[in-house]
Amino acid sequence: MGDPHPTPATPTAAAPTARPKLRAEALTRSFGRGTRTRFALGPLDLSLAPGEFVCIVGPSGCGKSTLLRIAAGLLRPSSGELSIRTASPRPAAMIFQDYGIYDWKTVLANVRFGLDVQRVPRKKADARARDWLARMGLLDVAGAYPATLSGGMRQRVAIARALAVEPEILLMDEPFAALDAQLRTILQDELLDLTQTTRTTTLFITHSLEEAIVLGDRVLVMSAGPGRIIAERRPPFHRPRTGEVRSAPEFTALKSELWELLRGEVRREAVPA
């Protein structure tokens, strides 16, 4: 294990003056009406600088998926605003916990899917999809159907598909939650490597404090529902970083601190007043 290069807790991502890629202002969302109204989210403010990797942790049911679905344009906010600023018409790409890949398409066709939607010419789309399959170690299974693959490989297909469209913003909703601990560690390290190369602005939701600390430029803690941001911490590690930061004393200290912040919220979500 080498020196994980701890640094003071200062911003490591884009300059704070850069215009945000994603901004949420006083965002709220409720479901149902009248006496049955369930306030699911907010009010919540959030800002992602270009190239920044922001992780959100919070108790189950606090509104994390609701936030991501609003960011992806799949759900409207009840009030407030969410704006995304991209230089190109490329959409934000979303990766779900349950992979969201199509079982009736081959691995190659799955990875090419977003490019087909963008009407990238077939030859070029094939080449780019193969390039991403190679980067994710999936070239050998390009012609296979996802049902024949392991959970880890299916999730790699989902990541390759999302990154193949070269999105300006990546939205990830607990993408590794269904995987076992070892595989999860491997995919975290791969994602770290990939996003540090591509500098894709990423909003990443997770239950795992370790995952948030390894991956994030910032870790935001959400309250019990309706979720608001109640704390923010910057893992004190240089970029590019590697999975070695897991063994740093600062890592353990930050994990304990985040857990202290989160513990009460988890209890509140589980046993509402």
Q: By CB under 6 A, is residue 63 in contact with ligand ADP?
A: yes
Q: State both tokens at 38.
A: 């369930």
Could you give the CA distance from residue 176 to residue 132 in angstroms, rounded to a whole number?
A: 19
Could you give the CA distance from residue 151 to residue 88 in angstroms, rounded to a whole number?
A: 33
| Least spacing, CB of residue 61 vs ligand ADP, in Å | 4
34/249 with CB nearer ligand ADP: 34
x/- site string to ligand ADP, residues 65 to 104, per CB under 6 A?
xx--------------------------------------
Could you give the CA distance from residue 170 to residue 162 in angstroms, rounded to a whole number?
A: 8
Q: By CB under 6 A, is residue 62 in contact with ligand ADP?
A: yes
Q: Which of 26, 37, 60, 232 is the binder for ligand ADP (CB under 6 A)? A: 60
Q: By CB under 6 A, is residue 48 in contact with ligand ADP?
A: no
Which CA distances in Å does 186 have to 141, 164, 176, 219, 265?
19, 20, 10, 20, 29
Q: Around 229, how many Cα atoms within 13 Å sit in the side-chain half-sphere?
A: 19
Q: Is 180 exposed, middle or buried (0-12, 13-18, 19+ CB in 10 A)?
A: exposed
Residues within window 205-234 making contact with ligand ADP, judged by CB under 6 A: 225
Q: Which of 9, 18, 19, 38 is the binder for ligand ADP (CB under 6 A)? A: 38
Q: Which residues bind ligand ADP (CB under 6 A)?
A: 31, 38, 40, 58, 60-66, 225
